[in-house]
Structure 1
Amino acid sequence: MSTGPGTNNPSSPFVSVRIKEFRLYIIQRFFFIMAMRMIATVVGWKMYEITKDPLAVAFTGLSEAIPAILLALYSGHVVDKSDKRTLLFKTLFLYFLCASTLMYITLQHTELTLGKQFVQFGIYFVIFCTGVIRAFSGPATSSILAQLVPKTVLPNAVTWSSSTWLSASVLGHASAGFLIAYYGYTGTFILIMIYIAIAAFSLYQIERKPIVHTNKGQATWESVKEGLRYVFTTKELLGAITLDMFAVLFGGAVAMIPFFAGDILHVGAIGFGWLNAAADIGSISAIMTLTFFPLRKKQGLILYCVVAGFGLCMIAFGFSKIYLISFVALLLSGALDGISVVIRGTILQLKTPDEMRGRVSSVNSMFINSSNEIGHFESGVAAKLMGLVPSVVFGGAMTLIVVAIMWFKAPSLRKFEY
């Protein structure tokens, strides 16, 4: 790995960004995540426009979650025995193709000639494809991080990586709302493809990394079982993943934001974009604070507190009919979630052996990342059955129940410090 001056001082808030390849990594991560968040915003608003049905929007998340979950364990095995930089480069190319396909599907000419139903199911198909790609890109992105920086600065690198992810998410959500309003879907997708190209160029400048899989002749299923066994026997790691998974599954209201924006708060695409970005603005504020003032102790206990606070914010958002209150509730939920992301990400990096990073990251991806999409589906189904406001309030209450259960089920996580 390429290092620079100052890397021997792990207490410096800039210790990891002095490493050239890590800088390239976060540039790649920034533009790629911004492109992905823009796609999510554009697709969510388009589906709302053509269907006005929360269940139809929910199926978008399910379309991505199904392949991501089904392939997660196998993808971890593939990532561990592959050159992660090359694998990531291939996934960026495939994402570029998916973005170009979505640009065609969302053309006004396409909708007029082939109909709204074609647009709806075309989006489902492309998002399904992105779920397949994400099954490999997520673990590869997480795994390569430990090959770019010394282990002594991993906590700092995780914080910067999380900060980069959330900064890109904020700009992706908010800018997509503005771009849809002023330049339409085609202009937005052109910019998305430019961002993916920048990400690919940055990644290309990182050198190929050695494969550290310790048993290249190991059968696929044995390799998968080894990764699962490690996660389920490492109690702090399992507790953090489980707590975050159920909180995201029940507590997230992201999929319903278009309906709150349009039907309850009565704002357009720009107001929707800012609501979509509110949680991420809170997250980036919290993570940037943690970059300069990192948590020094009782991180496990803090994790419980911030997840409970997240649930309370979702309840407040569900009841609110005032735009400012809704924005602040999402902003605070994001700040609390940002703290959770840093704690869980650091536990994941510190508790995982190098030769198992792909498999452990894939398990984490299966439970955490896919729970976002399953959570979107759950939100849509709940909104259809219970109504929009009761479904969000119910999700926040379920998050509090999950925290209470995990408090007693994972006592070692409460006492965990790093």
Structure 2
Amino acid sequence: MELSLLALRPFRHLLASRLFTALSYQMLAVAVGWQMYALTHSAFSLGLIGIAQFAPQLLFTLVVGHVADRYDRRRVVAICQTLEFIVAAVLAAASLAEQLSPTALYIAAFCIGTARAFETPSLQALVPSLVTEAQLPQALATSSGLMQVAIITGPALGGFIYAVGPDAVYLTTAIFWLVAAISMFTLPLVRKQEHRPPATLESLFGGIRYIRERRIILGAISLDLFAVLLGDATALLPIFARDILHTGAWGMGILRSAPAIGALSMSFYLARRPLRQHVGKIMFGAVGLFGVATIVFGLSHSFGISLAALVVLGACDMISVVVRSSLVQLETPDAMRGRVSAVSSIFIGASNQLGEFESGTTAALLGPVPAVVVGGIGTLIVVALWMRWFPELTRRQSLAVGAD
């Protein structure tokens, strides 16, 4: 990590907030996923959790982007984290009273998804306000790296605490979300948002129009959407851990942490050695290797091989994340960043939460192993098609604005 970045007080506050909110979300995902499968023994139910989280992002896309561009982004993020704290506290109380049901878990997932729908674009749009344009790729890699630390420790911690009881996990996540909210509420003043557009139809649809007109951004975020939508096996980890690899909640926690281990290692590398040449080809190569790692994971019956495949998968995803995020932020003016980030979040949310639903549905029809293997093959097909359909992204040499 660059000392010049960590020396910035606002950036440190942002990192602290992201650290604790990532810890909370990952721990909650382990507890909800494991408890849902214990209650229903249904892959389809696990997939519905993803739909419950993604639906608010789809419903509120235009609104959240406008909110991120019109209101203080720090306050928007802090309020969302406060709402997440409340949901986790309610889950803890309900679990302690043995009143949790699948329906209650779906409702909680929807509420968390709603808060994250408003939180994510505001948080993404904040980063360029804290650093210079030249520092942005390293800032994104550093921020993502710290978040990956939380993603590594969060699921494992959630799995181990789950041995005490799900209520203990929910209570811990509530505390962490409260700390995240306090860090954001106390974030020192940063460069003010230069323009706060009035609520018009033109401004609401501004993010969609901006992305549609810039094929570099459209190609980068849509590649992530379809590749991860097909190749994501996260929702099926409870099945692989319990029925294929024959481990417990602790094993699922470690497996869920594995992609973050690869992502963390890659983020440290990219923070020290930012990508300077052939970024388009590197991005396509990383997503292709992501698909190969997904296939290996699906075919593996060895805990060690599965763990290694997930590590590689996470490292490749981090390369894609840094390239995509840098292109979106650097190619977008500050007045548009909230709305563009909101639309980008839909693509990311679709690839993650909707990908969980796709995995759960496909697994219910074909079985977990064929579902993952077919998804990995689909990712490779997407890479081939996007290289043909978005040649400007393939030719992109650097992350600098206007680079060919």
Instruction: Give the structure-2-normalised TM-score.
Output: 0.95
- Aligned equivalents of 1:321, 1:206: Cα separation in 2: 47
Q: Which moved more, 1:204-213 or 1:382-391?
A: 204-213
Q: 1:404 aligns with which of 384, 389, 399?
A: 384
Question: Given the alignment of the two structures, is residue 123 of structure 1 paired with residue 109 of structure 2, yes or no?
Answer: no
Q: Quick one: which amino acid aligns to residue 22 of structure 1? A: F
- Aligned equivalents of 2:306, 2:196: Cα separation in 1: 51
Q: 2:41 aligns with which of 49, 52, 61?
A: 52
Q: 1:317 aligns with which of 297, 300, 304?
A: 297
Q: Quick one: which amino acid aligns to residue 299 of structure 2? A: F
Q: 2:141 aligns with which of 121, 136, 159?
A: 159
Q: Do 2:137 and 2:274's aligned partners in 1 also have CA atoms closer than 8 Å?
A: no
Q: Quick one: which amino acid aligns to residue 201 of structure 1? A: I
Question: 1:146 aligns to what SS in structure 2?
Answer: helix
Residues 211, 18 of structure 1: CA spacing in aligned structure 2 closer, same or farther, 3 A cutoff? closer
Question: 1:150 aligns to what SS in structure 2?
Answer: coil
Question: Given the alignment of the two structures, is residue 110 of structure 1 paired with residue 90 of structure 2, yes or no?
Answer: no
- Aligned equivalents of 2:295, 2:134: Cα separation in 1: 40
Q: 1:349 aligns with which of 329, 335, 351?
A: 329
Equivalent positions of 1:4-153 (< 5 A) are 13-107=2-96, 109-111=97-99, 119-153=101-135
Deviation of 1:29 after TM superposition, in Å, equals: 0.7
- Report Cα offsets for 1:280-324 as digits up to 9, x if no partner: 111111111111122221111100001000001111111111111
Two-structure CA RMSD over aligned residues (Å): 1.4
Q: 1:188 aligns with which of 151, 155, 169?
A: 169
Question: 1:110 aligns to what SS in structure 2?
Answer: coil
Question: 2:277 aligns to what SS in structure 1?
Answer: coil
- Aligned equivalents of 1:217, 1:261: Cα separation in 2: 50
Q: Which moved more, 1:200-209 or 1:255-264?
A: 200-209
Q: Do 1:213 and 1:356's aligned partners in 2 also have CA atoms closer than 8 Å?
A: no
Q: Which runs of 5+ in 1 are unaligned?
A: 1-11, 112-117
Q: Do 2:216 and 2:393's aligned partners in 1 also have CA atoms closer than 8 Å?
A: yes
- Aligned equivalents of 1:236, 1:328: Cα separation in 2: 32
Residues 242, 83 of structure 1: CA spacing in aligned structure 2 closer, same or farther, 3 A cutoff? same
- Report Cα offsets for 1:191-235 as digits up to 9, x if no partner: 21221122122112213456536363351x211222111111111
- Aligned equivalents of 2:283, 2:157: Cα separation in 1: 31
Q: Do 1:86 and 1:208's aligned partners in 2 also have CA atoms closer than 8 Å?
A: no
Deviation of 1:105 after TM superposition, in Å, equals: 3.3
Q: Do 2:50 and 2:356's aligned partners in 1 also have CA atoms closer than 8 Å?
A: yes
Q: Quick one: which amino acid aligns to residue 171 of structure 1? A: T
Q: Quick one: which amino acid aligns to residue 17 of structure 1? A: L
Q: Do 1:177 and 1:269's aligned partners in 2 also have CA atoms closer than 8 Å?
A: yes
Q: Which runs of 5+ in 2 are unaligned?
A: 400-404
- Aligned equivalents of 1:124, 1:37: Cα separation in 2: 16
Aligned twin of 1:168: 150
Percent identical residues:
38
Residues 324, 217 of structure 1: CA spacing in aligned structure 2 closer, same or farther, 3 A cutoff? closer
Aligned twin of 1:327: 307
Q: Do 1:106 and 1:119's aligned partners in 2 also have CA atoms closer than 8 Å?
A: no
Question: Given the alignment of the two structures, is residue 382 of structure 1 paired with residue 362 of structure 2, yes or no?
Answer: yes
Question: 2:6 aligns to what SS in structure 1?
Answer: coil
Q: 1:302 aligns with which of 276, 282, 292?
A: 282
- Aligned equivalents of 1:103, 1:42: Cα separation in 2: 11
Question: Given the alignment of the two structures, is residue 207 of structure 1 paired with residue 188 of structure 2, yes or no?
Answer: yes
Q: 1:271 aligns with which of 245, 251, 265?
A: 251
Q: Do 2:223 and 2:383's aligned partners in 1 also have CA atoms closer than 8 Å?
A: yes
Q: Do 1:261 and 1:267's aligned partners in 2 also have CA atoms closer than 8 Å?
A: yes
- Aligned equivalents of 1:386, 1:335: Cα separation in 2: 28
Question: 1:151 aligns to what SS in structure 2?
Answer: coil
- Aligned equivalents of 2:228, 2:376: Cα separation in 1: 10
- Aligned equivalents of 2:197, 2:345: Cα separation in 1: 23
Instruction: Give the structure-1-normalised TM-score.
Output: 0.92
Q: Do 1:44 and 1:57's aligned partners in 2 also have CA atoms closer than 8 Å?
A: yes
Aligned twin of 1:367: 347
- Aligned equivalents of 2:5, 2:79: Cα separation in 1: 26
Question: 1:214 aligns to what SS in structure 2?
Answer: coil
